[in-house]
């Protein structure tokens, strides 16, 4: 590099000679040198900026291009990370408390047609009608030869049918994979499970959505891919449920009833071990919903155990007795005036038979005296009765987790007058579902705690708030036992299981007001074993009628009670309950004095 001197002698000397300041020349030179340096530095900076700009541009282009590629590419599973052997089902299974399958998925195919691809539409239509006799041949030919580009033929076909269609060999008939919901046990627990159907449908897959029961209630859980391998565990027991449905069906036929409902509930956990409503249906092939004008209660889809609200009659009497004891108004031996008929304004309360002039509280329950219970309700008062029944959950839809339960809003009197209090004490004027009744009896059976009925398996007791003292609940249990051992429910005796319970026979209300003379709802609400209750059993028969000992009988003691007894005899061993002697009962020993 050639350096230009700042003070070149060639210019300094003549400048000095002229008497000029030579420093000016030096400054001038310094200025020039700085200018030069500046120009160089700018050029360098510019080139650097350019390079940097270019590299940023490249980086952005690469990132942008990659993003565009990712956005347009098909997603695929990352292969390198081993996510375990979980290939999620489309919908989680539903199992019973022992893990036996109640609902699962099954791979099938759907059949669709693309008429433009068809070789011989007429022949294909004829072949299809041979395989599926329910198809309309004319309509198919019209569709296949018309302008349509795509049509569904069958939503679900079996492997045999698929093979048969395949053998037709028409390229325009195509199959799409379908995951369908399968209920391997058929009608078993149909009302709890509900059913499922297809939601949005595409060629390669279809959404499976729950339409009723737990399938709909827990739809979000079941559809969540994260729960694909975590089945929904219900509290039902498959074996007990099967036994219940069989016994109930037999009982319904024998008693000539229109319908029947049964509930078996654990009194400590609130788990419903079995619940059934007859007539029933097959959730694999769910019948259509009742249309306008049909009585919804007659449809097999109607769940009598949860949806049906009925006046459950005398089964409510034990609540009045338990409350009277809990409030300290009475003890089991307190005498109650039962002289009748009891008049209240224009209304007259009568008993089924004349039981004399006074009975002890225990006897009022054992003999099922309406007048006696009404008198107890008078002493309790409408306000306190209302609070007590509300604490037992009789005012709200039952918390049982199926979607139909929200429809079980109990029917209450618009004004809770003293007369309402009196009729409600023996179960008239209030309509609840059998599930409400089961929860109420469970509170008496477990020593006074409310438990909410549930369909999910629980760990350990789930006792809710206390609604009555343990002593009064215990006394009420003893009364229930006496109803069976010496009262209206004597057919309910099952040796070894100390059944206690209360019968209830209520006249069915006519749709246009008033009550039928010859149509009743017979209910038996029971607990067993009465000295240490573990389970509540509710059996309700709709319009039962049995001809015994020379007359037609409809009362619960002759209809619902024998069915419930048979039910307990069948299911108690399945529940692992060993028959045992009641305390205080000397088995087979007759005490004598010498």
Partner 1 sequence: MRGLLYILTALGVFGLAFWAYRENYATQQVLSETRSLQGQIGEAQVRLSVLRAEWAYLNRPDRLLELAEINFTRLGLLPLRPDQFGRVDEVSYPPDPLLDITNVIEVTGVEGQNP
Positive/negative CA dihedral, 570, 576, 580, 583:
negative
**Alpha helices (H) along 351-446:** 361-367, 370-380, 382-391, 418-425, 434-445
Q: Is 233 in the site for partner 1 (CB under 8 A)?
A: no
Interface region with partner 1, contact rule CB under 8 A, candidates 80-88, 251-259, 322-330, 505-513:
80-88
Q: Is 75 exposed, middle or buried (0-12, 13-18, 19+ CB in 10 A)?
A: exposed
Q: Is 97 in the site for partner 1 (CB under 8 A)?
A: no
Interface region with partner 1, contact rule CB under 8 A, candidates 77-85, 318-326, 412-420, 545-553:
77-85
Nearer to partner 1, 80 or 548 (CB): 80
CB atoms < 10 A from the CB of 161, how many?
A: 16
441: nearest Cα among 270, 210, 228, 236: 270
- Over the window 520 to 559, marking each residue x when it contacts partner 1 by CB under 8 A and - when it does not, the resulting string is ----------------------------------------
Q: Is 545 helix (H, G, I), strand (E, B) or coil?
A: coil
Nearer to partner 1, 312 or 567 (CB): 567
Q: Helix, strand, coil: what percent of the chain each, to 5? A: 40, 20, 40
The correct pick among 12, 25, 329, 574 for binding partner 1 (CB under 8 A) is: 574
Asked whether 97 and 128 are in contact (CB, 8 A), the reply is no
The correct pick among 115, 250, 407, 573 for binding partner 1 (CB under 8 A) is: 573
User: Closest distance between partner 1 and the C-beta of residue 497, in Å?
Assistant: 7
Q: Is 107 in the site for partner 1 (CB under 8 A)?
A: yes
Q: Is 101 in the site for partner 1 (CB under 8 A)?
A: yes
Binding to partner 1, residues 245-264 (CB under 8 A): 246
Q: Is 70 in the site for partner 1 (CB under 8 A)?
A: no
User: Closest distance between partner 1 and the C-beta of residue 87, in Å?
Assistant: 5
Nearer to partner 1, 188 or 212 (CB): 188
Name 505's Cβ contacts closer than 8 Å, sequence gap at least 6. Answer: 313, 314, 520, 521, 522, 523, 554, 555, 556, 557
Q: Is 77 in the site for partner 1 (CB under 8 A)?
A: yes
Q: Is 497 in the site for partner 1 (CB under 8 A)?
A: yes
Q: Is 578 in the site for partner 1 (CB under 8 A)?
A: yes
Task: For the chain, give the longest Cα–Cα distance.
Answer: 167
Name 545's Cβ contacts closer than 8 Å, sequence gap at least 6. Answer: 255, 256, 257, 518, 552, 553, 554, 559
User: Closest distance between partner 1 and the C-beta of residue 339, in Å?
Assistant: 43
CA–CA dist 190, 301 (Å, integer): 9
Nearer to partner 1, 1 or 82 (CB): 82
Nearer to partner 1, 123 or 282 (CB): 282
Q: Extract the tokens encoding 233.
A: 């565990």
Binding to partner 1, residues 139-198 (CB under 8 A): 182, 184-186, 188
CA–CA dist 26, 200 (Å, integer): 89
User: Closest distance between partner 1 and the C-beta of residue 243, in Å?
Assistant: 7
Asked whether 493 and 308 are in contact (CB, 8 A), the reply is no
Q: Is 199 in the site for partner 1 (CB under 8 A)?
A: no
Q: Is 285 in the site for partner 1 (CB under 8 A)?
A: no
392: nearest Cα among 326, 425, 437: 437
Q: Is 411 helix (H, G, I), strand (E, B) or coil?
A: strand
Nearer to partner 1, 26 or 224 (CB): 224
Positive/negative CA dihedral, 219, 223, 227, 228:
positive
- Contact set with partner 1 (CB under 8 A): 77, 79-80, 82, 85, 87, 89, 100-101, 104-107, 182, 184-186, 188, 238-239, 242-243, 246, 494-497, 569-570, 572-574, 578-579
């Amino acid at each position: 590099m050639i350096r230009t001197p700042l003070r070149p002698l060639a210019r300094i000397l003549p400048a000095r000679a002229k008497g000029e300041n030579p420093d000016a020349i030096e400054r001038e030179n310094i200025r020039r040198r700085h200018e030069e340096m500046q120009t160089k530095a700018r050029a360098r900076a510019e080139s650097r900026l350019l390079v940097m700009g270019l590299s940023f541009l490249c980086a952005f282009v690469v990132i942008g291009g990659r993003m565009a590629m990712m956005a347009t590419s098909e997603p695929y599973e990352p292969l390198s990370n081993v996510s375990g052997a979980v290939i999620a089902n489309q919908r989680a299974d539903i199992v019973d408390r022992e893990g036996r399958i109640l609902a699962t998925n099954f791979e099938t195919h759907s059949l669709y047609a693309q008429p433009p691809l068809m070789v011989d539409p007429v022949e294909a239509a004829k072949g299809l009608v041979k395989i599926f006799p329910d198809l309309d041949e004319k309509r198919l030919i019209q569709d296949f030869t018309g302008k349509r580009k795509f049509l569904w033929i069958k939503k679900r076909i079996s492997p045999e049918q698929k093979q048969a269609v395949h053998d037709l060999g028409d390229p325009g008939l195509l199959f799409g994979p379908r995951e369908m919901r399968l209920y391997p046990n058929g009608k078993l627990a149909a009302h709890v499970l509900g059913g499922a159907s297809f939601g949005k449908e595409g060629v390669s897959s279809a959404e499976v959505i729950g339409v009723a029961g737990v399938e709909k209630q827990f739809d979000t859980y079941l559809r969540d891919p994260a729960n694909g391998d975590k089945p929904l565990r219900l509290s039902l027991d498959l074996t007990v449920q099967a036994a219940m449905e069989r016994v109930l069906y037999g009982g319904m036929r024998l008693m000539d009833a229109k319908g029947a409902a049964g509930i078996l509930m654990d009194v400590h956990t609130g788990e419903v071990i079995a619940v059934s409503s007859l007539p029933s249906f097959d959730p694999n092939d769910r019948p259509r919903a009742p249309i306008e004008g049909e009585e919804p209660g007659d449809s097999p889809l109607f769940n009598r155990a949860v949806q049906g609200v009925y006046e459950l009659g005398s089964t409510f009497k034990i609540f009045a007795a338990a409350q009277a004891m809990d409030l300290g108004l009475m003890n089991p031996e307190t005498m109650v005036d039962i002289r009748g008929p009891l008049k209240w304004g224009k209304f007259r309360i009568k008993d089924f038979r004349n039981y004399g002039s006074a009975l002890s509280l225990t006897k009022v329950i054992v003999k099922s005296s309406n007048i006696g219970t009404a008198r107890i309700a008078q002493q309790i008062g409408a306000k306190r009765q209302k609070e007590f029944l509300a604490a037992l959950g009789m005012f709200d839809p039952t918390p049982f987790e199926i979607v139909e339960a929200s429809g079980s809003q109990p029917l209450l009197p618009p004004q809770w007058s003293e007369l309402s209090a009196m009729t409600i004490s023996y179960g008239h004027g209030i309509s609840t579902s059998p599930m409400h009744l089961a929860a109420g009896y469970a509170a008496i059976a477990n020593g006074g705690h409310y438990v909410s009925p549930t369909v999910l398996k629980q760990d350990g007791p789930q006792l809710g708030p206390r609604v009555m003292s343990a002593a009064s609940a215990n006394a009420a249990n003893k009364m229930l036992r006496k109803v069976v051992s010496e009262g209206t429910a004597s057919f309910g005796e099952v040796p070894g299981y100390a059944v206690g319970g209360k019968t209830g026979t209520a006249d069915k209300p006519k749709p246009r007001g008033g009550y039928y003379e010859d149509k009743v709802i017979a209910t038996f609400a029971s607990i067993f074993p009465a000295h240490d209750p573990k389970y509540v059993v509710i059996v309700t028969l709709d319009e039962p009628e049995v001809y015994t000992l020379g007359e037609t009988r409809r009362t619960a003691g002759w209809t619902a009670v024998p069915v419930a007894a048979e039910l307990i005899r069948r299911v108690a061993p399945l529940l692992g309950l060993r028959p045992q002697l009641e305390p205080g009962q000397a088995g087979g020993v007759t005490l004598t004095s010498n």
